[in-house]
Copies of this chain bind each other. A is one copy, B any other.
Amino acid sequence: MDPIEIIGLIAATLTTSAFVPQVVKTWKTKSTKDISLTMYSAFFLGTMLWLYYGYEHQSLAIMLANGITGILVIFMLVLKIRHK
């Protein structure tokens, strides 16, 4: 595999999995005071458009990365709305 594509995969893994520790932290503390609802709403909308973009380009990497990020961001939105 092209080394640049491997870098792209590592980059995608990092920017997707980055949300895991935030979800875990918020899940544990139930505290969302410092979390911006606007950020996660805009980010969710963005990942859904990326998902469509990936589908149109038949790019499994873009679809996978944004599908997983979208699910993690939904978790954050639910936690934020539930624990205002």
Which of B8, B19, B36 sits near A39, CB closer than 8 Å? B19
Least Cβ–Cβ distance between A69 and chain B, in angstroms: 9
Interface size class of A (residues with CB under 8 A): 35 or more
In angstroms, Cα B33 to Cα A32, docked, is 9
User: In the complex, A45 Cα to B14 Cα: how many Å?
Assistant: 7
Within 8 A of B (CB), among A1-47: 4, 7-8, 10-15, 17-22, 24-26, 29, 31-36, 38-40, 42-43, 45-47
A15 touches B53 (CB 8 A): no
Question: Do the beta carbons of A8 and B43 come within 8 Å of each other?
Answer: no
What residues make up the interface of A, taking CB atoms closer than 8 Å to B? 4, 7-8, 10-15, 17-22, 24-26, 29, 31-36, 38-40, 42-43, 45-47, 49-50, 52-53, 56-57
